[in-house]
């Protein structure tokens, strides 16, 4: 089973979309194995977005992510990394497909509501960056055999 790191960004929390966003992952069939609300430090934000350090939007991105609480989560399921990116939608909500979180709920790239790991390796790195091993709960949902053959 794959795991991926998902974060509801400060705009999602401030707009009271936490339940709506979590609902989409739950109803799709994925399993929540870790969740915490956090006020993100500048240090953690800069580590998480380190790959974008040279981009012109880096500073405003760090300001934004540290501006209000986020909801950090780990979701589990078959091919969850790819599926979650599809549930989330393209980076720019203007062009994100209708039906995706960003396509349905967002209007601008700097306020795109949610983060999801972009590959299996990135997911492993991000889960380890944001969560201690003991904060992740392995459990077997009773619906498992109704989701997977
Ligand atoms: P994603 O979050 O879809 O993985 P990314 O990794 O390319 O997108 O960028 C990380 C975040 O940085 C993105 O969610 C929003 C912000 N961002 C990206 N490109 C931007 C741009 N051109 N202008 C402003 N913010 C941008
Ligand atoms: Mg990314």
pLDDT digits (tens, 9 = 90+) for 125-134: 999 999 999 9
Any residues with Cβ below 6 Å from ligand 1, and which?
52, 57, 61, 91, 109-110, 112, 115, 118
* Amino acid 136: pLDDT: 98
pLDDT digits (tens, 9 = 90+) for 99-120: 999 999 999 999 999 999 999 9
Among 57, 64, 66, the mutation site with the greatest number of ligand 1 atoms within 8 A of its Cβ is: 57
Whether residue 115 lies in the annotated active site = yes
* Amino acid 62: pLDDT: 98
Which atom of ligand 1 lies at the shortest distance from residue 88's CA? 3
Q: Is 36 helix (H, G, I), strand (E, B) or coil?
A: strand
Spans of the chain below 50 pLDDT: none
**Is there a contact between 6 and 83 (Cβ–Cβ < 8 Å)?**
no
* Amino acid 66: pLDDT: 98
The protein residue whose alpha carbon is closest to atom 8 in ligand 1 is 91
* Amino acid 124: pLDDT: 98
Ligand 1 centroid distance, CA of 14 (Å): 19
* Amino acid 143: pLDDT: 94
User: Measured between alpha carbons, how far is 58 from 144 in angstroms, rounded to an integer?
Assistant: 40
* Amino acid 3: pLDDT: 98
Residues 6+ apart with CB under 8 A from 65: 9, 10, 40, 45, 48, 49
């Amino acid at each position: 089973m794959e795991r991926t790191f998902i974060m509801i960004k400060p705009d999602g929390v401030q707009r009271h979309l936490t339940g709506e966003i979590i609902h989409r992952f739950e109803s799709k069939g994925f399993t929540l194995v870790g969740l915490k609300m956090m006020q993100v430090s500048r240090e953690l934000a800069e580590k998480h977005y380190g790959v974008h350090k040279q981009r012109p939007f880096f500073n405003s991105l760090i300001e934004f992510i540290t501006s209000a609480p986020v909801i950090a989560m780990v979701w589990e399921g078959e091919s969850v990394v790819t599926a979650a990116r599809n549930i989330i939608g393209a980076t720019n909500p203007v062009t994100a497909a209708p039906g995706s979180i960003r396509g349905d709920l967002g209007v601008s790239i700097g306020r795109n509501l949610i983060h999801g790991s972009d590959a299996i390796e990135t997911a492993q790195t991000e889960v380890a960056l944001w969560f201690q091993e003991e904060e992740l709960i392995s459990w077997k949902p009773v619906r498992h055999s109704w989701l997977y053959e």
